[in-house]
Every structure is written in structure tokens, then in C-alpha cells.
Chain A
Amino acid sequence: MKPKKLLIASIPLIIFALLVLVFNSSLKKDPRELETKLIGQAVPDFKLASVTDLERVLTNEDLPKEVFLLNIWATWCVSCYAEHPYLIKFAKEYPIKWIGVNYKDESKNALAYLAKGGNPYLYSIADVQGTLGIDLGVYGAPETFIVDANGIIRERHVGVIDDRVWHNKILPIVEKLQSEQGAN
């Protein structure tokens, strides 16, 4: 009878320990981070102007045929200002191409932003209406998509890319994809 009573008495303690584990793991997760169904799918079709050259029409054909990063930015996005110097640095230090998507912005503001902060992008797509942004499931700029040589989205990061995110998340995935593609 004794051990059974002990077992029953310890049930609340066990439940408590389990809850601590569950809460602890969910505390580390960012509830704002949403899943995306786009991983494993091609970059959605688009046909939009370039920010720096409004005459130029950009389509999926213009995307690099190598692993690259698709970064969603806007001049109304406060965190983008914090991210921008990092992008300049990474673009300089690593031979990985950055494509910008200027999301729901005015081209005048966008040009001033690039002139002032520097331009880390090969080119920026002017998504004035936000159609490409919605096709990409963008809900909070800055967002960055890692795209492979076949134009397939392999990963998404929501939020600022700083040194920590770059070295812990972005760079390992890019390098893995590059070596995969190099092997083929």
C-alpha cells in the first residue's frame, strides 16, 4: 500500500516537472514566427520593375542561377535600418548574392535609402503593390529567403539578420546548399 500512495502523491510533482519542461521549451520559441508552406517551392512568378532602373523589367529569369538570398526590405520598416549595415558587411565579406524586394515602398524613398546606407543588392525588385510580398507570405519585414540554384526556396528567416543569425543560421545553410549543388 505504501509505494502506491507514494506514487499517487508524486503525481502532482511529475505533472509539474513535465509542465516546466513544456513551458521551458516554448519560452524559447518566438510565437510571432510562423511556418511557411513555401519551403521546397519555387520563388513565385513575378514581373516587376527594378528599383534602381525603372525601365528594366525583372522576372524569375533574372534570378541568379546559384544559391542566393532574397531579402525583403522597405524604408518604412524600422528594423530594416538596423539590418542594413549587416547586409553591407556580409555582401562585402562573402561572395553570396543578395536580391532585394522593396516591399510596398515609394521608389524615391527607396533610392534615397540605398544612396545613404549603401546598396548590398545585385538589384532590388520594386514591389510597390505588395503582390510579390503576399505571394511570398511576407508578414513582417525584414524577411530573408534562402533560394538554391534551381530557384527553390529552402529556408526563411523572419527578422533582422545580425552576426549571430548569420553565423548560426544563414551561413551554415547557404554553405550546405552550395556544397550540395557543387557535388551535382
Chain B
Amino acid sequence: MIKQFYVLSCFCLLALVSVSLQAEKVQADEFKFESPAQEQMYRQIISQLRCPKCQNQSIADSDAELSEDLRFIVYQKIRRGESKQQIFSYFQQRYGDFILYDPPVSPKNYILWFMPIVVFIIIIIALVMKVGKRRVSDETEISEEQS
């Protein structure tokens, strides 16, 4: 029993080590930058672009071939000295607002942006009306209940 447990735990450890080595390898495959600032900008941009192929991942997380290509484009653009805004608008022109994890406010997503505020206002109004009414009709309500 103890021996089996020992074999099992060794196996787990081995699996863990091989997985982390794999992760190390992926990291090393990334591109070379002129400065740490550039690299930081690169990481920031790829984590804010959504992979069009695999919709709930950023292109930083995705292993899809398309994401690989897009990461390479980001890299090239950074090396060429383009600004973050330029890079985002390049992708936006091709893949639409969808590609941005932080989409701009526009008529078709007003409902998304303003719904919480509207709901909040409605709740406040409802509360004020309810509470306001209760103060006035406090006694009558009690008498109603009693009767």
C-alpha cells in the first residue's frame, strides 16, 4: 500500500516538473525586444486583443495559428515604433470592435454601457417612492392590517 502510494506521488511530481518545463520552453520561444518597455507594451497589447478564432481567449493565451500570426504582427509593429493606439486601430479595422477587450462606446452597445446606470436609477426611484409612501401612510397601513 505504502509502496503504491510512493510510486503514485513520484509520478505526480514527474508530471508536474515536465509540465512546468514545457511552460518554460514556450516562454523562451517569444520574440526579442530592444527594451524592457517594449516587451511590456507587447505583453499588454496581446493580452488586450481577443482571438477571433477562439473567442474567449486573448491572443496572448491562445495557441491558435491565427493568434500566432497576430502576435507576430504586434511584435513587428512595436519594433517599427508604432503606438498602442495605432496597433489597436489596425486590428479594429480588420476584425471590428470585437477584437478589443475594451470596446469603444457606440450606439449598438449603449445598452451594455448604460443599462446598469438605468437600472440603478430605476431602483432608486422605486425605493424613494416606496419609502416616501410608507412614511405618509404608516398609520393607515397599520390600521388596515389590524382591521
Binding site for B on A (CB under 8 A): 31-32, 34-38, 104, 130, 134-137, 139-140
Contact = CB atoms under 8 A, between A and B. Distances in A.
Nearest to B51: A139
A36 B52 CA distance: 11
Contacts of B97: 35
Contacts of B73: 134
B66 A37 contact: no
A135 B94 contact: yes
Contacts of B96: 34-37, 137
B41 interface: no
B53 interface: yes
Interface in B67-87: 69-70, 73
Interface residues of B, number: 15
A134 B70 contact: yes
A35 B98 contact: yes
B95 A139 contact: yes
A136 B55 contact: no
Contact of B94 (A31, A32, A137, A140): A137
A135 B65 CA distance: 16
Contacts of A135: 94
Contact of A140 (B53, B92, B93, B98): B53
A130 B94 contact: no
18 contacts: A34-B52, A34-B96, A35-B96, A36-B95, A36-B96, A37-B93, A37-B94, A38-B94, A104-B65, A130-B69, A134-B70, A134-B73, A134-B94, A135-B94, A136-B94, A137-B52, A137-B95, A140-B52
A32 B66 CA distance: 15
Interface of B: 52-53, 55, 65-66, 69-70, 73, 92-98
Nearest to B95: A137
A135 B93 CA distance: 9
B60 to A, nearest CB: 17
A134 B92 contact: no
B74 to A, nearest CB: 12
A134 B52 CA distance: 11
A113 to B, nearest CB: 19
A77 B142 CA distance: 73
A32 B52 CA distance: 8
Contacts of B52: 34, 137, 139-140
A130 B97 CA distance: 21
Contacts of B55: 31-32
Contacts of A134: 69-70, 73, 94
**Which among B53, B55, B65, B93 has the highest number of chain A CB atoms within 10 Å?**
B93
B96 to A, nearest CB: 4
B101 to A, nearest CB: 14
Given A134-B70, A134-B73, A139-B52, A34 B98 contact: yes
Nearest to A137: B94
A6 to B, nearest CB: 18
Contacts of B94: 37-38, 134-137
